[in-house]
Amino acid sequence: MRPKVAWVWAPYPYSKNHWLKDKKDSLQYTIEELAKECDTLVLTPIKKDPQKIGWMHLYVTPNEALTALRKFNPDVINLNLFNNNFNRKVAMEFKRAFITIYDHGGNLVCPFSDHIDIFFTAQKYRRSLVIKRNKVPPERVVLNPYGADPEKFYPDDNIKKTYTGIMVGDFRSHKQQHLIIENWSKVKGKLLLIGRTHPPLGQPPYVQKCRKLISRFDLSNRVKIQDFVAHDELPRIINSAEIGIHVGQGESASRSVTEMMACGLPMVVLKKYRSNVEWVKDGGLKVEPNTIGTAVNYLKNNPAKYRKLKEAALRTIKPYTYDRMLATFNEVIKGARAR
C-alpha cells in the first residue's frame, strides 16, 4: 500500500508563474521524486490570495490546509519552520502521523518538539544546537544539507565574466546586502545583487535602503540590483561573475551558496556566521564586514589563490546534490513506513 506523505511549507509565497515555468529546485525535486512512490499532498498555507498551483502545490488558507490534511489523513507530514503557529496546530492534531520538520533558519527552539519525530537540519553546528536547545536525542536530528543540481550548475568558461561579484538572496534585512554595497567603493569591478529566484523582491523598505546606499556612494554604474531571475536562468548569470558573496545571518544554510560554489565561484562570507563558514570550508575567504571589498580585491589580484579556492569550492560542494538530499529524505520516510 502506498504511503500518504504531506508536505507543509508554511509560509512560502512563490508565484504561479515561477512554479509553472520552473518547478525544479532541491526541495521541489525531492518532493516530485518521492511522489513516484507515495501519494503526495503539498500545501502552502497563506492568509491572503489563496490559489491552486500546478498538479500538486496548493496555496490555501490555514483553515483550508487543515481541512485538506484531515481529508488526506497522511502517514507522514513534513513541516518547515520551527516557530510557526500553523505548524504547531498540525503537529499537535495529527498525532498518528510520523512528523518531520526542517530547520530553515532563525529560531532554533521548536515549541512543539515533543510532537516531532525527526528534525532535519543543514549544518553540523546547528544540529548540535537543535539537540541541545530542544533536549532531543541525537538520533532524532538528521543532517540533510541542500543540494545543487550538477546538470545545471557547473563552471561554464564560455560565458563572459561581466561581474566581479554576485550575491543571490531575497532583499531582507537579515541578508545584509547593504554591507556589500558599503564596501564596494573599494572595488573597481561590477557587483550584481539578485533579489530572488522567485518573486516578490522582498521587503520594500530594505530594498529602498540598498538603492539609497548605491546613490550615496555613487555606485550606480557599478552596482546593479536585479529584482527577479528565474531559477533556470541562474546558472548562466552566476557564471557571468568571478566571485560569490554571501553575508546573510541566521540561516540554516543558503542554497545560493551551494549553487555559486558548484559553478566554481570562490566565496567571500562573514566569519561570524557559522552556517556559511561550515559550507564554504576551504572554498572561500572568511572575513569581517568591513573587509569585504578588501577580500574581493585580494582574489582579483592573486590568480593563484583564486584558482586554488575555485578548485576547493568545486571539491567541497561536489557531494551536495539533489539526489543525495532525496536519498536522506527517502531513508527517513521509508523508516517511518516501517514503524
Residues 62 and 94 in one domain: yes
Residues in the chain: 339
Residue 158 domain-assigned (yes or no): no
Percent of the chain with pLDDT over 90: 40
User: What is the model's pLDDT at position 337?
Assistant: 63
Residues 22 and 80 in one domain: yes
Residues 175-193: tens digit of each pLDDT: 899 999 999 999 999 999 9
Residues 41-70: tens digit of each pLDDT: 877 766 554 444 444 556 677 888 888 889
Residues 299 and 329 in one domain: no
Residues 307 and 329 in one domain: no
Residues 313 and 179 in one domain: yes
The answer to whether the CB of 68 falls within 8 A of the CB of 62 is no
Q: 87 Cβ partners below 8 Å, 6+ apart? A: 8, 10, 79, 80, 81, 101, 112
Residues 332 and 244 in one domain: no
How many structural domains comprise the chain? 2
Residue 16 domain-assigned (yes or no): yes
Residues 118 and 189 in one domain: no
User: What is the model's pLDDT at position 312?
Assistant: 96
- Show the domain range for 184: 163-317
CATH number of the domain enclosing 167:
3.40.50.2000
Residue 23, pLDDT above cutoff 70: no
Residue 284 domain-assigned (yes or no): yes
Residues 199-232: tens digit of each pLDDT: 444 456 888 899 999 999 999 999 999 877 777 8
Dist. CA 272–CA 51, nearest whole Å: 40
User: What is the model's pLDDT at position 179?
Assistant: 95
Residues 25 and 171 in one domain: no
Average pLDDT value for residue range 63-82:
86
pLDDT band at 105 (very low <50, low <70, confident <90, very high): low
Average pLDDT value for residue range 256-282:
89
Most confident range, picked from 35-44, 116-125, 292-301: 292-301
User: What is the model's pLDDT at position 339?
Assistant: 54
Q: What is the mean pLDDT of the chain?
A: 83
Residues 239-266: tens digit of each pLDDT: 999 999 999 876 656 788 999 999 999 9
Residues 116 and 174 in one domain: no
Residue 159, pLDDT above cutoff 70: yes
